[in-house]
Structure 1
Amino acid sequence: MIQPTSLKDPKLEKLKEALLDWINSTLKAEHIVVQSLDDDLYDGLVLHHLLASLAGVRLPLEEIAPTSWAQLRKLEAVMGELDKRLEQPDDKWDVSLIHKKDLLATLHLLVAMARHFQPELELPSDVKVQVALVEVSERGIRSDVQTEVLTGESTNSESRSSNDGAGDRVEQLLTLEARKVAAVKQGLLGFVNRSMSRLGLHVSDLDKQFSDGVILLLLIGQLEGFFVPLCDFSLTPANHEQMLHNVSLALSLLTHSGLHVSSVRAQDVVAQDVAATLKILFTLLSKHAQQEDKMAAHYV
């Protein structure tokens, strides 16, 4: 159990607010509003919708689970799919704890989901809580207080600052006249096509051709020097879920490569949000092509 003094910690409050904002922003299109992390996630409904939105996985489950047994059954199915995807060991949470509205387990689960599915999301750093551990045995009751880490210290400030600059540049770019925006896009297309020429691929529409994640995954692989196994993504995505999975994987690969793209969600790229696509491309450009970067910066 989290100690009462830790529940009042401003850092914990900020983390809860950030997670609430993330959930509600992710599920906005589905008109789902979460007001409390303590009370609104125990029955599996919100977690199921997050799984569908973030990973493109929708399970054949009833929307509303009316009984405790049905809720546990739904949670078990949803969290089984989540645990397959989350890199962090699941000993910090389980179905029973989430269903019992255990705040500590819920926070651990949500932080792990945010780190995996939207690694560019800014969460408050260095959030720790004091946890009371109680053990009951034949010898009596023994209690202990330990420190539980929810989010570690920030270690990528330099990289994040650089990439925030790329995001600011894109926001500034989109306020310019159409002729200058088109010129920068043309420069980015040249950078992309030079990188993709070894695969015999050509991109002509920067606004639309990145929305299914295929070109983006292949581009990241070419620039970062690794091969993305075809079994890990959909080479010919046939629906929104497969496109969302592709783009989520691409954003995850960027993070593993040390590139954090500020304020970009997978669903934004799938929805053909030009600013989101440009932020990703400018981030790649700034690392891999300094000459092209200077040329694009000149237009901005």
Structure 2
Amino acid sequence: MSSAPPRPPAPRLPRMKKEESFLGKLGGTLSRKKRAKEVSDLQEEGRNAINSPLSPILAGLHPEDTQLEENEERTMINPASKESPKFKELVKVLIDWVNKVLEEERIIVRNLEDDLYDGQVLQKLLEKLSEHKLNVAEMTLSEAGQKQKLQTVLEVVHKLLRPHGWALRWSVDTIHGKYLVSILHLLIALAMHFRAPIRFPDYVSVQVVIVRKREGLLHSSYITEELTTTTEMMMGRFERDAFDTLFDHAPDKLSVMKKSLITFVNKHLNKLNLEVTSLESQFADGVYLVLLMGLLEGYFVPLHSFYLTPESFDQKVHNVAFAFELMEDGGLQKPKSRPEDVVNLNGKSTLRVLYSLLTKYKDVEE
């Protein structure tokens, strides 16, 4: 039986080259498009480099900050200034203070620009500080409504600050536009006016970039904006009174005033075998101030309420603040001085506090 002849092998179809396959063709198309986009982006970058003045600061700004219409101008902080340790500390101090004030409102601020621009938090902050309700809508979602709320809030702020000659370096538009420098100026002024129990870093400034578009070209200029000097200097504009006149123009009368105060406090502290010779230094830790209030009001101050031998700055501030509370309980107005200033040996602040005690308790028997 003869076997069938072997069948010739089936002819192999030629393999498509990789780049001729469907995926290969697709990949090649995508690759070409990617290369084309890269070329386009490179050309655009080149045009920008030609059309814009060479400025290292402009290169560090967010792209949106340089997309301007003809003759438009935009002001912003130099990104490098935001990295300054003192600037960061200033922002943190203000955020912590705002959050402390609004603690009962369960409002938490994390970013000053994003959280304060619409006026909602500023309204609550001002109401809490001034203990006065503002006549504004609680919720405003529209831009017009937000600006109207800001206008109302800022009008109240201006009435508070104008008598002290404070420069108003903010506006509805700059606050709503999230311009951080304006927001910082506003919060610093409020903190000073309401004598916030905080201390700012001294001499904080930022470099401000002003970008303008003229004839299709971006032009930039720079100014340095001062945010703080020293807490004492900034507070001074709110505290100028008879003591400033004594300090500045009548040192002989100031000396007489100090002798009167020393006589007054020793008349009472001598009961505890304590004696004062230096008003600024011996009242700085708050201990004598607390004991003096107890003697003047005729009660024993529990030792667990204050630090009898304070060691840290915070413990001393606690003592002075506690003495201020005792003063208010005794019917005195809230002291204009800040506890921190008394602890820092600020003579005017200490004399103001003691003079208010002399005025009220000068007739108290030994």
TM over 0.5: yes
Cα 1:163/1:100, change in 2 over 3 Å = farther
2:354 match: 285
Match of 2:133 in 1: 58
Q: CA deviation at 1:14?
A: 0.3
CA 155–72 in structure 1, closer or farther in 2 if over 3 Å, else same: closer
Please name the residue that 1:131 is paired with: 208
Q: Indicate the residue corresponding to 2:189 in structure 1.
A: 112
Which SS does the other structure have where 2:227 is aligned?
A: strand
Does 129-138 or 2-11 show the bigger shift?
129-138
More displaced stretch, 48-57 vs 94-103: 48-57
Q: Matches of 1:163 and 1:44 in 2, distance apart?
A: 41
What residue is the counterpart of 1:262 in the other structure? 340
Distance (whole Å) between structure 2 residues aligned to residue 164 and residue 53 of structure 1: 34
8 Å contact kept, 1:43–1:71: yes
Q: 1:166 to 1:131 in 2, by over 3 A?
A: same
SS of the aligned residue for 1:122 comes to: coil
Q: Distance in 1 between matches of 2:130 and 2:293?
A: 29
Pairs within 5 Å for 1:1-300: 1-86=76-161, 87=164, 88-90=166-168, 92-118=169-195, 121-136=198-213, 142-153=219-230, 166=283, 168-170=285-287, 184-189=292-297, 210=328, 215-217=331-333, 247=334, 250-251=335-336, 254=337, 260-262=338-340, 284-285=353-354
Q: CA deviation at 1:285?
A: 2.7
Q: Is the 8 A contact 2:109 2:115 kept in 1?
A: yes
- Asked whether the 8 Å contact 1:121–1:263 carries over to 2, the reply is no
- 2: distance between equivalents of 1:209 and 1:108? 32
Quote the sequence identity (%): 34
Give the AA of the match of 1:168. Answer: D
Preserved CA contact (<8 Å) 1:163 1:261: no
TM superposition score normalised by structure 2: 0.48
Deviations 1:4-56 (A, max 9, x none): 11010010100000001110111112211111112100111111111111112
Partners of 1:55 and 1:31 lie apart in 2 by 18
Label 1:24 to 1:13 Cα distance change in 2 as closer, same or farther (>3 A): same
Larger Rg: 2
Contact 2:200/2:230, CA 8 A, preserved across alignment: no
Change (3 A) 1:155 1:118: closer
RMSD between aligned residues: 3.6
In 1: Cα distance, 2:230 partner to 2:171 partner:
25
CA distance in 2, matches of 1:286, 1:186: 17
**Partner Cα distance (2:326, 2:353) in 1:** 18
Change (3 A) 1:85 1:211: farther
The alignment partner of 1:132 has SS state of strand
Query: How many angstroms does 1:288 deviate by?
Result: 7.8
**Alignment length, in residue pairs?**
206
What is the identity, as a one-letter code, of the residue corresponding to 1:262?
Answer: E
Amino acid at match of 2:185: H
Q: Deviations over 1:104-158 (max 9, x none)?
A: 11111111111111255311111111111234556965422111100014557xx
TM-score (norm 1): 0.58
SS of the residue corresponding to residue 262 of structure 1 reads helix
Distance 1:20 1:53 in 2: 15
Superimposed CA distance per residue, residues 61-110 of structure 1 (whole angstroms, 9 cap, x where no aligned partner):
122212111111111111111111124222x2100111111111111111
Asked if 1 retains the 8 angstrom alpha-carbon contact of 2:170 and 2:186, the reply is: yes
C-alpha distance after superposition, 1:224-279 (max 9, x if no partner): xxxxxxxxxxxxxxxxxxxxxxx4xx52xx4xxxxx42299xxxxxxxxxxxxxxx
User: 1:180-232 CA distances to partner (integer Å, 9 max, x unpaired)?
Assistant: x6xx4342348xxxxxxxxxxxxxxx9777259xx434xxxxxxxxxxxxxxx
SS class of match (1:168): coil
- Cα drift, residue 167 of structure 1: 6.1
Kindly indicate whether the alpha-carbon contact (under 8 Å) linking 1:166 and 1:283 is maintained by their aligned counterparts in 2.
Answer: no
